[in-house]
Homo-oligomer: A and B are copies of this chain.
């Protein structure tokens, strides 16, 4: 056991050293999406492995065909005790547009109590407080009540290719009873949250091609079927006036949220928030569904991009050769991404204008995941977060997706719990990403105390 006061004292004493190591971690530009930064990603993985080893963990970088996975374990609790697998990632998002950063993204800078750097919160800050919490236990010489494993991948911001590929071979290595995903948000400042799910995803790119070249819209207007018209007519059929997706089978297996779920899970934001914060007056989703239901319990189909023809200034009288759409579906438990993909494609094929050539690029889908309110880890993290913040923990379901989690849970056989101290204003994936040492400490305390409660 480690008491809250012990964790606090240790953190206060080691604060400067923790901050220094955290900054070293942040300084490595481990942008997974950019091949130029491959050496930085490798260096970042090595830095983490070295950090674990210095703290006397058994740690290694597991090679994949793309970027290594950092793995560390402490199995001293013994085979009779449960195992907790902690997941995070050491890669970060690209930094464009660079000119909007007030300080360089890989030179962590403190301003008005916030630490500004790419990865400050997502996910270097979050995974690092978890590592520090374990380090505290070790330095205090307390025997861990559970076996602990870390799986820190380097491609979460890209596509988790390496982890997906290696999962079948890592089954026994990653085997665990509980899976802690340290990559989520709080409910609000100083109001902690446990996240027990995220939506799955299916993605599709679509092109309608009418002619082999752009045509003059006067000379040929009225003859060629304009692919832009064919596209809007096709895509408009995807919803009815009530906002329900019209693809047959789309809602198959989707369960109505139970009264317990609706009570247990809270929505961080209301309609008013969207109007005030983002100026939104038009709400989508299905008629009769609350913001909370729409975002947490219902699947969506979104047009992330549409484009065809002239997009510059003014007017150009062209009938484009082709028109394009990028579509993603967010999936809830009960929906199979393969079946949904088949159904969406079938719908599109059956509604496209005759003679218009259809080209599709289908991306790999991933199902939603859902943890249980009754898992031991869920209860431990919730209670620990309340100790760490002094406020009641809330339960959330994320509208977003962490594609690898569902398969990771399946491969390891573990129950999933998400935690984190991010906030909507942290500007993750955007310029001037930030975190602060106060929330870093809250995360540290939450992980440290949760171990005592398992």
Residues of A within 8 A of B (CB): 198-199, 201, 203, 205, 210-213, 215-226, 228-233, 235-239, 274, 278-285, 289, 291, 294-295, 298, 300, 302-311, 314-320, 323-324, 326, 328, 330, 353-357, 363, 398-401, 429
- In the complex the two chains form, is A232's CB within 8 Å of B306's CB? yes
Q: A304-B316, A363-B315 given as contacts; is B285 within 8 A of A222 (CB)?
A: yes
Question: Would you list 5 pairs from A and B whose C-beta atoms are within 8 A, ordered by A residue?
Answer: A220-B295, A225-B280, A231-B232, A281-B355, A304-B316
- In the complex the two chains form, is A355's CB within 8 Å of B282's CB? yes
Q: Which residues of B have CB within 8 Å of A285?
A: 222-223
Q: Give min CB distance, A33 to chain B, whole Å.
A: 10
Q: A224-B283, A232-B306, A309-B304 given as contacts; is B294 within 8 A of A315 (CB)?
A: no
Q: A223-B291, A232-B235 given as contacts; is B311 within 8 A of A307 (CB)?
A: yes
Q: Which residues of B have CB within 8 Å of A323?
A: 306
Closest to A209 in B: B279
Closest to A159 in B: B314
- In the complex the two chains form, is A223's CB within 8 Å of B295's CB? yes
Q: Which residues of B have CB within 8 Å of A228?
A: 302-306
- In the complex the two chains form, is A306's CB within 8 Å of B309's CB? yes
- In the complex the two chains form, is A223's CB within 8 Å of B317's CB? no
Q: Which residues of B have CB within 8 Å of A398?
A: 218-219
Closest to A310 in B: B305
Q: Which residues of B have CB within 8 Å of A217?
A: 300, 302, 304, 328, 330
**A219–B422 CA distance with the chains assembled, in angstroms:** 13
- In the complex the two chains form, is B211's CB within 8 Å of A280's CB? yes
**A121–B233 CA distance with the chains assembled, in angstroms:** 39
Q: Give min CB distance, A405 to chain B, whole Å.
A: 13
**A317–B302 CA distance with the chains assembled, in angstroms:** 9
Q: Which residues of B have CB within 8 Å of A298?
A: 222
- In the complex the two chains form, is B317's CB within 8 Å of A283's CB? no
Q: A308-B306, A309-B304 given as contacts; is B224 within 8 A of A399 (CB)?
A: no
Q: Which residues of B have CB within 8 Å of A399?
A: 218-223
**A304–B312 CA distance with the chains assembled, in angstroms:** 11
Q: Give min CB distance, A55 to chain B, whole Å.
A: 34
- In the complex the two chains form, is B239's CB within 8 Å of A330's CB? no
Q: Which of B199, B210, B294, B305 contacts A282 (CB 8 A)?
A: B210
Closest to A198 in B: B218
- In the complex the two chains form, is B328's CB within 8 Å of A284's CB? no
- In the complex the two chains form, is B310's CB within 8 Å of A315's CB? no
- In the complex the two chains form, is B306's CB within 8 Å of A231's CB? yes
- In the complex the two chains form, is B235's CB within 8 Å of A239's CB? no
- In the complex the two chains form, is B199's CB within 8 Å of A218's CB? yes
**A324–B326 CA distance with the chains assembled, in angstroms:** 15
**A324–B310 CA distance with the chains assembled, in angstroms:** 11
Q: Give min CB distance, A313 to chain B, whole Å.
A: 9
- In the complex the two chains form, is B316's CB within 8 Å of A310's CB? no
Q: Which residues of B have CB within 8 Å of A400?
A: 216, 218-219
- In the complex the two chains form, is B212's CB within 8 Å of A279's CB? yes
For the complex of A and B, 4 pairs with smallest distance between CB atoms: A282-B355, A218-B400, A281-B355, A236-B236
**A241–B12 CA distance with the chains assembled, in angstroms:** 71
Most chain B beta-carbon contacts within 10 A, residue among A198, A219, A310, A328? A219
- In the complex the two chains form, is B316's CB within 8 Å of A305's CB? yes
Q: Which residues of B have CB within 8 Å of A213?
A: 278
Q: Give min CB distance, A335 to chain B, whole Å.
A: 14
Closest to A309 in B: B305
**A386–B375 CA distance with the chains assembled, in angstroms:** 92
Q: A218-B398, A219-B400 given as contacts; is B307 within 8 A of A229 (CB)?
A: no
